[in-house]
Structure 1
Amino acid sequence: MSAVTSGPVGAVSTLIAVVAIVALIAVLVLLGTQRAQVRRASEALALSRELRNRYDALQAVTTEGVLVQSLSGRVLDISDRAAQILGIDGPASVGRAVGDLPVSVVNEMGLAMNPAAVLGRRSGIAPAGRAIDSELVGVVLPGMDAAHARMVQVSSQLVPAGDGDADAVLTTLVDVTGRRETEAALTRSEMQFRVAMENAPIGMALVDLEWRIVEANAAFAELLGTSVGALRGYRMEDLSTPEGRPAERLEVDRLLGGGQHRFSMEKRYQRADGHEVWVALDAALVRTPTGAPDHFVVQVRDSTESRLQAEMLTHRAMHDPLTGLANRTLLQEVLQSALEQPGAEARVAVLACDLDGFKEINDRYGHAAGDEVLVHVAGVLRAATARRGTVARLGGDEFVVVVQDVDGPRAVFEVAAAIHAGLHEPVRVARRRLVVAASVGIAVADPDSIDGGAPGLLAAADAALYRAKSAGRGRTEVYDGSMAMGSASDLHRELAAALATDQLVVHYQPIVDLSDARVVGYEALVRWEHPRRGLLLPGAFLSLVQEAGLSVALGQLVARRVVEFVATMPDRTRWVSVNVSADQLGDGEFATTLLAEISRHRLSAGRIVVELTESSLVASGTRIRHELTQLSAAGVPILLDDFGTGVSPLSYLRDLPVAGVKLDMSFTSGIPEDPTAGKVARALGALARELAMVTIAEGIEQEEQAEFLQRNGWRYGQGWLYGSAQPGGITR
């Protein structure tokens, strides 16, 4: 009985144990599975947190704002940048409908728009992952008007499973206000530059690195007589005349090579009609931010008129205003240059010509008739020279011809013969037939005269001229060694003797008030009463005075004579001006003599006026300036002679104690025919009046000239219209 009982009970126990073990194993398996699921859930949560952190970090640094919303239009998420762009509170916006957000949106025309239609789901949005729908709108922040709306680029697209299992709408917002402002500023700047370029009064062009015109304005095209379209693609250097191209190319290469940033040059351009114009060309190289050459900006200004005016002024400074012949300065330059050329001995000769009896013509028929004779003689000399040299007038009736020919000695005799033949025919002057003859002196270049330079050869021709006049006039003499004592050294001795024997005299030319032609003063002019040649004007001997070192002595002589003359004048209001050159100043002797004579004769210092000539030499010494200051301080007025000519006379109005100016006769002679002379006279007069200076115009020969100068502010005048220079004692 017990055995049977133990058998079934044991089997049940065993089964229970097996079941328990299986259950335990199942529990253990289940626990393991749960632990794995928990671990995976923890890892997923950690990954989600990491991704969120990365998302937040990305949104913190990106310039784009992100708005996530459900298909029903409720905000699921919004980045800080998106909230900032829209001007709303980000956390408070989550869960709200997009249409309920406090956002004001306008289109590009400034008209209000529905925020839900802009930021929410819109018809036409492509399926997930496809094309993005983009729109530019304006976001009006609180307190701001629509004109200053923030410009925002809005883009939307579907995102699969963006809201758990459902799709969502991802909207990105980019603030493009700054970029739009930059683009607008750039567009405005470009427009302003184009308007300025198109309306500029001077030529302008944009030129590429190949020196080809990319764009040009109307002024540039008009200057060249063509159209803007025709200029595009044209090479700049092809606009100029051939001789100007190499220098231009060199300047362009220097710009490209970094040797300079800009260049300026004056050159000639060929117009479309074949005419040439002078232009001032200015070019600057524009570089990229990296420093690489990009293009050129070019300005072209028409300088034809100013160039012609400069050439006219230069011509006047180097030519005789009456005859148009070269003056002494140009003559000496031409002769010196000719003597410095190889073979000068065989090719160069000088002819000095002096009219016989010219003083009698002036005295009998007047200076106007004398001028006509001088102009006629100038034409005879030009024709006789026949382009084989340079004809000059030195002053008065003295002429010089520098002959340059393959056979100089033969040519100079041919010229002399042609002069005598040309003067054989009487000159017609105001229904009169006046007979004019000339004495001629010739000097041919040789080693001695070449060593002496231009002054030596001119002195030799002058010595031969003396011989011709003393031998009966109306003839030609050639310089030889026997005349040596009659050339430079002898002339210097003659001048010294002339000073000692009162051969140098002073004549006085009246100066009048242009308003009523009343005589107010005189200019003292020195003359040489030569025992053989008669009365010589300053142009015939002043240069020799300087060479002989007698300038100071001559200045002292003139100062004494002038003061004596003024002391005898019955009209105590009139004054006399004295010409003083730079080489007569500096050692104090002239100032000492003049002031001593004024004191001795008890004159008012203001009745003696010093006219400063050769003003371009004053800057060389402060002692000269000191002596002028001494005279001015004593009450002697200082005038600047030859005003408007010279190297830089305007600077002396500031640097020297100048009380007045004297207009050079080269400008007066051009009135009224030469409009440029009139403009210069008007401008210089205005300048002098602005500086409160006395104004005197010399060389007046016609009433029309006097009226013009008086209208344009010149107070005093002198010239043959009011009388020539006369000996002392004639006070008119």
Structure 2
Amino acid sequence: MIDALTDPLGAVTATISVVALLALVSVLVLLARERRQVRRAGELLLLARELRHRYDALQMVTKEGVLVQSLGGRVLDMSERAASILGVERDHAVGQAIGDLPMVLLNEQGLAMNPAAVLGTRSSNGHLPHAGESALVGVALPGQHGARARMVQVASRLVPAGHGNEPAVLTTLVDVTGRREVEKALERSEMQFRVAMENAPIGMALVGLDWHLVEVNTAFAELLGTSVEALRGYDLGALSQPDDRQVERRHVESLLAGTQHRFSQEKRYQRADGHLVWVVLDVALIRSASGDPDHFVVQARDTTESRLHSELLAHRAMHDPLTGLANRTLLQEVLQSVLEQPGGAQHVAVLACDLDGFKPINDRFGHAAGDEVLVHVAGVLRAATAGRGTVARLGGDEFVVVVQDEDSARAVFEVASSIHAGLREPVRIQRRRVPVRVSIGIALAEPETLAGGAPALLAAADAALYRAKATGKSRTEVYDPSMETAGGREGMRAELLHGIEAGELMLYYQPLVDLTNGRLMGHEALLRWLHPHRGLLLPATFLPLAQESGLGVALGIRVVEDAVAYLARCADQQRWLSINVSADQLGDGELVSHLLAAVSRHRVAPGRLVVELTESSLVDSGTRIRHELTQLRSNGVPILLDDFGTGVSSLSYLRDLPVNGVKLDMSFTSGIPDDPAAARVSRALGALARELSMITIAEGIETEEQAYFLQRNGWRYGQGWLFGGAQPEETLA
């Protein structure tokens, strides 16, 4: 019985033990599971913290600000960058409604905007934002009145399950203030460049690396006589003349190679109408930020007018202004150039011409008629040469032809024969037929003459001409060594010196009258050379030789002695006589001392001898010349400024030099009264001279009308063909 009772109790105990063991196992399992969940939660928390840390770090370095809102417009999160852009505090903003934040958003017109509509909880049409929608707004920061608003690019998108199980709105904000300023600055620079380019007074163009025009301005198109549209895309090199393209291409290649930074080239362009224009092209290569060539900037300046002006000045410097023929300088250059060419000396000859009886034409009909004759003779020489050489006028009535031909010996005689034939017909002057003849000297390119170069060849032709004059005139002589070159120009120098010493040079006297009553007041002494073989020679024939050879002072002393002696012999002791003195005759005191000594020796009142200062453009008022002029004036010798009005410095001479009067150049007188400009100038110069209380003389008067006009406009005295030409002393009344 006891065993039966005992066994059930043991069974119960055993059951309880089993149950307790199972419970313990369950608890241990639950504890292990809880521990794993706690560990997992810790790991997730650490991961969340790490992700947040990375998110915050990313927001610190990114330029974009991030704003997260609920659909109700409450701020769920905001990056520091977003808070900085919007000008709010991040910690204060999170949890607040977006509309309650202290910020002001502006549109492009500067009007306030609803932050909720701008920052993405609702778009302008009331719908939730879609990805890609963006807007540019201004953010006016609080407390910065008057400051410029920040320009912010705002883009919003809907993020599913962005707030728990609810969607959220993710808004990115980018401060583009700097970029916008840069863009505006670039736009402003581009606009300014285009305005400057379009309105530039010179041609401008942008040219691609292939040397094709990308853009041109109106001035460039007008320069080429076409339109802007027609030039775009056109090859700039194709506009050039063929001779200029190779040089231009070399310059362009040098720019691309980096050996030069810019270049300038004067060249010709052909306009659309076919005319050529001269242009100075200035080209610069523009490189990109990386240093690679990008494009060219070209400026084109029209230099056609200045080029023509320079060519005109160069032509004037090398040509005779009356006939248009080459002058002495150009002739010598041409001849020297021909002789320096290989074999050139074998195909050249020189022909020297001098008119016979030219002085009587000048004396009888006046200088204007003489100029007509010279122009006519120039035409005859051109026609006779027929392109086979160069025709030049050396001065006065002296001409030279340099003949260039394969058979120069035959050609030069043909030219000489044609010249004589062309002058057989008289020249019509002032309704009269006046015969004109010429003497010719020829020098062939022989070894004797070529040894001395161009000067020797010219001297040989001159010696032959001298022989032609001496043996009857109106004929042709050919140089041979028996003439000796000294018989030419060098021989003339010796002859001139002999003529001065032998008294062959004499004075002719042209009347000077009072324009108010026509009374004879005096004369101007004009030098002539009564050459024993060539007859009476005018100053233009020998004065240049005298100056070049240093005989100017000796010639001046001869003139002074004869002029003072004439005044001493003159019955009318009130008459005065003017003599011409050039600048090269002054400076060493010799001429002035002889003049004052002659006046004293002949007991002539100093005021009766008047010095006309010629070649005034060569006078330096600060030199010895001024001292000598002052010495003359202080001794009572009046000084006149000749050729008044023709030099650019004439007016300054009135101030700087001790002059008593002026003499109006005949170039102004001849234009009166038909030329209004000549009339105005002569009137103004007369008024100026009167204001300075100076003696006024006008030369070259040929008509009563001219004399009357000049007298009414301040010119007291006059001379010219109206009152008589230059005459020797024995013919004077």
Displacement, 1:72? 0.6
* CA distance 1:456–1:580, change in 2 (3 Å): farther
Does the aligned pair in 1 maintain the 2:131–2:157 contact within 8 Å?
Answer: yes
SS in 1 for 2:258: coil
Task: Report the counterpart of residue 706 of structure 1 in structure 2.
Answer: 678
Does the aligned pair in 2 maintain the 1:524–1:579 contact within 8 Å?
Answer: no
* CA distance 1:540–1:365, change in 2 (3 Å): closer
Displacement, 1:434? 1.0
SS in 1 for 2:88: coil
Does the aligned pair in 2 maintain the 1:336–1:453 contact within 8 Å?
Answer: yes
Does the aligned pair in 2 maintain the 1:510–1:718 contact within 8 Å?
Answer: no
Task: Report the counterpart of residue 694 of structure 2 in structure 1.
Answer: none
Task: Report the counterpart of residue 170 of structure 2 in structure 1.
Answer: 170
SS in 1 for 2:438: strand
* CA distance 1:510–1:460, change in 2 (3 Å): farther
Task: Report the counterpart of residue 713 of structure 2 in structure 1.
Answer: none
Q: Deviations over 1:315-346 (max 9, x none)?
A: 21111111111111111111212222233444
Does the aligned pair in 1 maintain the 2:530–2:536 contact within 8 Å?
Answer: yes
Aligned-pair Cα RMSD in Å: 4.7
Deviates more, 1:191-200 or 1:139-148: 139-148
SS in 2 for 1:246: helix
Whole-angstrom CA distance in 1 between matches of 2:206 and 2:454: 52
The answer on 1:486 being equivalent to 2:470 is no
Whole-angstrom CA distance in 2 between matches of 1:279 and 1:510: 56
* CA distance 1:308–1:99, change in 2 (3 Å): same
Deviates more, 1:688-697 or 1:110-119: 688-697
> TM-score by structure 2 length?
0.78
Does the aligned pair in 2 maintain the 1:262–1:284 contact within 8 Å?
Answer: yes
Whole-angstrom CA distance in 2 between matches of 1:102 and 1:521: 109
The AA in structure 2 aligned to 1:389 is G
Task: Report the counterpart of residue 361 of structure 1 in structure 2.
Answer: 361
Q: Deviations over 1:110-164 (max 9, x none)?
A: 3432111111312589999x73321222223346789943322111112233223
Deviates more, 1:106-115 or 1:498-507: 498-507
Whole-angstrom CA distance in 1 between matches of 2:561 and 2:59: 102
Whole-angstrom CA distance in 1 between matches of 2:33 and 2:145: 63
Displacement, 1:468? 0.9
Does the aligned pair in 1 maintain the 2:152–2:177 contact within 8 Å?
Answer: yes
Whole-angstrom CA distance in 1 between matches of 2:225 and 2:429: 48
Whole-angstrom CA distance in 2 between matches of 1:256 and 1:248: 13
Does the aligned pair in 1 maintain the 2:348–2:403 contact within 8 Å?
Answer: yes
Whole-angstrom CA distance in 1 between matches of 2:255 and 2:653: 43
Task: Report the counterpart of residue 302 of structure 2 in structure 1.
Answer: 302
* CA distance 1:286–1:25, change in 2 (3 Å): same
Whole-angstrom CA distance in 2 between matches of 1:289 and 1:508: 84
Task: Report the counterpart of residue 534 of structure 2 in structure 1.
Answer: 533
Deviates more, 1:64-73 or 1:501-510: 501-510
Whole-angstrom CA distance in 2 between matches of 1:319 and 1:434: 27
Task: Report the counterpart of residue 347 of structure 2 in structure 1.
Answer: 347
* CA distance 1:559–1:690, change in 2 (3 Å): closer
The answer on 1:554 being equivalent to 2:552 is yes
Whole-angstrom CA distance in 1 between matches of 2:281 and 2:512: 47
The AA in structure 1 aligned to 2:487 is G
Whole-angstrom CA distance in 2 between matches of 1:728 and 1:693: 36
The AA in structure 2 aligned to 1:136 is L
SS in 2 for 1:263: strand
* CA distance 1:397–1:68, change in 2 (3 Å): same
Whole-angstrom CA distance in 1 between matches of 2:300 and 2:272: 16
The answer on 1:118 being equivalent to 2:122 is no
Does the aligned pair in 2 maintain the 1:521–1:576 contact within 8 Å?
Answer: no
Does the aligned pair in 1 maintain the 2:131–2:156 contact within 8 Å?
Answer: no
Task: Report the counterpart of residue 403 of structure 1 in structure 2.
Answer: 403
Task: Report the counterpart of residue 318 of structure 2 in structure 1.
Answer: 318
Whole-angstrom CA distance in 2 between matches of 1:52 and 1:522: 120
Task: Report the counterpart of residue 153 of structure 2 in structure 1.
Answer: 153
The answer on 1:104 being equivalent to 2:109 is no
Whole-angstrom CA distance in 2 between matches of 1:521 and 1:51: 122
Task: Report the counterpart of residue 206 of structure 2 in structure 1.
Answer: 206
Does the aligned pair in 1 maintain the 2:66–2:173 contact within 8 Å?
Answer: yes
Task: Report the counterpart of residue 419 of structure 2 in structure 1.
Answer: 419
Displacement, 1:719? 6.5
Whole-angstrom CA distance in 2 between matches of 1:134 and 1:168: 17
SS in 2 for 1:43: helix
Task: Report the counterpart of residue 652 of structure 1 in structure 2.
Answer: none
In the alignment, structure 1 segments of 5+ residues that lack a partner are 513-518, 616-624, 638-659, 666-680
Task: Report the counterpart of residue 714 of structure 2 in structure 1.
Answer: none
Whole-angstrom CA distance in 2 between matches of 1:291 and 1:117: 47
* CA distance 1:636–1:62, change in 2 (3 Å): farther
Q: Deviations over 1:54-98 (max 9, x none)?
A: 222222222211111111101112222222222233322222111
Whole-angstrom CA distance in 1 between matches of 2:142 and 2:594: 94
Displacement, 1:471? 0.7
Does the aligned pair in 2 maintain the 1:439–1:465 contact within 8 Å?
Answer: yes
Whole-angstrom CA distance in 1 between matches of 2:255 and 2:528: 60
Task: Report the counterpart of residue 329 of structure 1 in structure 2.
Answer: 329
Whole-angstrom CA distance in 1 between matches of 2:561 and 2:196: 65
In the alignment, structure 2 segments of 5+ residues that lack a partner are 514-519, 601-605, 632-640, 690-696, 702-718
Task: Report the counterpart of residue 63 of structure 1 in structure 2.
Answer: 63
1:22-171 aligned within 5 A: 22-122=22-122, 131-142=131-142, 148-171=148-171
Does the aligned pair in 2 maintain the 1:450–1:456 contact within 8 Å?
Answer: yes
* CA distance 1:132–1:241, change in 2 (3 Å): closer
* CA distance 1:166–1:360, change in 2 (3 Å): same
Q: Deviations over 1:243-276 (max 9, x none)?
A: 2222222222222222322222222222223232
The AA in structure 2 aligned to 1:284 is A
Displacement, 1:171? 0.6
Whole-angstrom CA distance in 1 between matches of 2:462 and 2:60: 102
Does the aligned pair in 2 maintain the 1:427–1:433 contact within 8 Å?
Answer: yes
1:375-524 aligned within 5 A: 375-484=375-484, 485-487=486-488, 489-498=490-499, 500-501=501-502
Whole-angstrom CA distance in 1 between matches of 2:84 and 2:528: 99
Displacement, 1:395? 1.1
Whole-angstrom CA distance in 2 between matches of 1:105 and 1:510: 102
Percent identity (aligned): 58
SS in 2 for 1:425: coil
Count matched residues.
667
Displacement, 1:469? 1.0
Q: Deviations over 1:346-372 (max 9, x none)?
A: 421111111111111111121121111
SS in 2 for 1:349: strand
SS in 2 for 1:300: strand
